[in-house]
A and B are shown apart, each in its own frame.
Chain A
Amino acid sequence: MRIDCPYCGPRGNEEFSYYGDATRTRPAADADESAFVDYVYLRDNPAGSHRELWFHAAGCHRWLEVERDTRTHLITGVHEVGAKHDANRDGTTR
Chain B
Amino acid sequence: MTRRYSIVRLLRESVRGNRGWEPAWRDAEPRRSYDVVVVGGGGHGLATAYYLAKVHGVRNVAVLEKGWIGSGNVGRNTTIIRSNYLLPGNVPFYEWSMKLWEGLEQDLNYNAMVSQRGVLNLLHSDAQRDAAVRRGNAMRLAGIDSELLDVAAVRRLLPMADFDNARFPIRGGLLQPRGGTVRHDAVAWGYARGADQLGVDIVQNCEVVGFRQEGGAITGVETTRGFIGTRRVGLACAGNSSRVVAMAGLRLPIESHVLQAFVSEGLKPLIPCVVTFGAGHFYVSQSDKGGLVFGGDIDGYNSYAQRGNLPTVEDVCEGGIALLPSLGRVRMLRSWGGIMDMSMDGSPIIDRTAVTGLYLNAGWCYGGFKATPASGWCFAHLLATDSSHEVSAAYRLDRFAAGRVIDEKGQGAHPNRH
Report A's interface with B, CB cutoff 8 A: 1, 12-14, 18, 20-21, 33-34, 37-38, 40-47, 50, 52, 68, 70-73
Contacts and interface: CB of A to CB of B under 8 A. Distances in A.
A45 B300 contact: no
Given A41-B344, A42-B252, A45-B255, A13 B305 contact: no
Given A42-B253, A44-B251, A47-B256, A73 B305 contact: yes
B416 interface: yes
Contact of A70 (B251, B254, B302): B302
Contacts of A38: 251
Interface string B320-355: 000000000000000000000000100000000000
Contact of A43 (B252, B305, B309, B315): B252
Interface string B237-271: 00010110010000111111000000000000000
A42 B302 contact: no
26 contacts: A1-B309, A12-B310, A12-B311, A18-B301, A20-B255, A20-B415, A21-B302, A37-B400, A37-B401, A38-B251, A40-B400, A42-B253, A43-B251, A43-B254, A44-B246, A44-B251, A45-B243, A45-B254, A45-B255, A47-B240, A70-B302, A70-B305, A71-B304, A72-B305, A73-B305, A73-B309
Contacts of A47: 240, 243, 256, 304
B115 interface: no
- Closest 3 A/B residue pairs (Cβ): A14-B311, A45-B242, A41-B253
Contacts of B301: 13, 18, 52, 68
Contacts of B240: 47
A77 B251 CA distance: 26
B400 to A, nearest CB: 4
A41 to B, nearest CB: 4
A60 B400 CA distance: 35
Contacts of B311: 12-14
B360 to A, nearest CB: 14
A63 to B, nearest CB: 15
A7 B187 CA distance: 50
B416 A42 contact: no
User: Interface SS of chain B: helix, strand, loop or mixed?
Assistant: mixed
A45 B401 contact: no
Contacts of B254: 43, 45
Contact of A13 (B252, B253, B255, B309): B309
A13 B254 CA distance: 22
Contacts of A71: 304-305
A21 to B, nearest CB: 8
Nearest to B343: A41
Contacts of A37: 400-401
A72 B254 CA distance: 20
Given A37-B400, A41-B344, A42-B253, A20 B305 contact: no
A20 B257 CA distance: 11
A82 B59 CA distance: 57
B303 A43 contact: no
B59 to A, nearest CB: 34
B413 interface: yes
A12 B310 CA distance: 9
Given A13-B311, A20-B415, A37-B400, A44 B242 contact: yes
A2 to B, nearest CB: 9
Contact of B252 (A1, A20, A40, A45): A45
Contacts of B252: 42-43, 45
A43 B304 contact: no
A38 B407 CA distance: 18
A43 B401 contact: no
Contacts of B305: 70-73
A44 B305 CA distance: 17
A50 B256 CA distance: 12
Contact of B302 (A1, A34, A40, A50): A50
Contacts of B415: 20
B256 A41 contact: no
A56 B86 CA distance: 35
B413 A45 contact: no
